[in-house]
Amino acid sequence: MTSQGTSRATSRTTSQATLHGKVALVTGGSRGIGAATALRLAREGADVAVGYVNGKEAAEDVVRAVEALGRRGVALRADAADASASAEVVDAAAEALGRLDVLVNNAGVGVLGPLETLSLEDVDRVLDINVRGVFLTSRAASAWLPEGGRIITIGSCMAQRVPGPGGTLYAMSKAALAGLTKALARELGGRGITANLVLPGPIDTDMNPADGPHAEGQAAMTALGRYGTADEVASMVAYLAGATYVTGAEFSVDGGHAA
């Protein structure tokens, strides 16, 4: 093998071992972006705890896929709308897998509609899951994360650009994550822990399929003219899980939605 070929092989090996020996928790990990992220982190060498609320069978399928990659996995039920559960799932993951190095805050909910149609229950539910749950899970994780620990939160492109009416509540909840992420970066940076925010655009999942009734309009709002894939978001999460000098930052994976 040439020296160039040896260098490339070494680079691939190093990349594959980026998270070897690490443990990650992915909330909302039973499907879509969460499931893709869990599998990508496992491919990078991490053992993975998969949080879910309703999709037990789907979460167990993800765990089996993690185990098929030679990593340990566990499925843990936790309702992000429940303040106690938001913290308890972190402890359960760390206890089940022996430690915690990476937290991916992926669990979230979207409630869209005109202001006058949004009930107080809608407001409470969205803020409880999208904001309070992320805060409480991150706070609980901070007690476990060692130097080099990572907090990666999945936000939304609508925190940067709201292209039309009906997204007030959802956009507000996702915009709050920018302040939370920057504050976590400052508060935990002295311990060598990073915190970053990923902002997906329209992503092809069962919640927002690329062949759905509103897909054409959403795709047209991007510079690339298409939906993204869950794997494309997961690749950014994997990068941030290994990055050592990136914190308090926002990363758009939105096909140019905010361009």
Confidence (pLDDT) at 111: 87
Q: What is the pLDDT averaged over residues 237-258?
A: 96
The torsion region of residue 113 among left (phi > 0), alpha (psi -120 to 50) and beta comes to left
Confidence (pLDDT) at 62: 98
Contacts of 222 (CB under 8 A, 6+ apart): 201, 202, 254, 255, 256, 257
CB 129 within 8 A of CB 80: yes
Query: What percent of the chain shows pLDDT beyond 90?
Result: 79
CB 163 within 8 A of CB 221: yes
Instruction: Give me the sheet containing 47-52, strands edge to edge.
Output: 73-77, 47-52, 23-26, 102-105, 150-154, 194-200, 249-253
pLDDT grade, residue 18 (50/70/90)? confident
What angle in degrees, to the nearest 10, is found between the helix axes of 133-142 and 83-97?
A: 40
Give the whole-angstrom CA distance, residue 204 versus residue 181: 25
160 or 176, which is more confident? Answer: 176
Confidence (pLDDT) at 82: 93
Q: What is the pLDDT averaged over residues 171-179?
A: 96
Residue 7, pLDDT > 90, answer: no
Confidence (pLDDT) at 185: 98
Residue 2, pLDDT > 60, answer: no
Nearest to 25 by CA among 98, 83, 81, 84: 98
Residue 220, pLDDT > 50, answer: yes
Give the whole-angstrom CA distance, residue 44 versus residue 211: 31
Least confident of 87-96, 182-191, 217-226: 217-226
Please say whether the dihedral angle defined by the alpha carbons of residues 150, 154, 158 and 161, taken in this order, is positive or negative.
positive
For 73-114, the pLDDT digits (tens) are 999 999 999 999 999 999 999 999 999 999 999 999 888 888
For 23-65, the pLDDT digits (tens) are 999 999 999 999 999 999 999 999 999 999 998 999 999 999 9
Residue 95 has what DSSP assignment?
A: H
For 117-172, the pLDDT digits (tens) are 999 999 999 999 999 999 999 999 999 999 999 999 999 998 888 888 878 999 99
CB 110 within 8 A of CB 129: no
Q: What is the pLDDT averaged over residues 63-74?
A: 98
Q: Which residues are catalytic?
A: 170
In the chain, the domains with their CATH numbers are: 20-253 (3.40.50.720)
Residue 14, pLDDT > 90, answer: no
Q: What is the pLDDT averaged over residues 204-230?
A: 91
pTM tops 0.85: yes
Q: What is the pLDDT averaged over residues 240-250?
A: 97
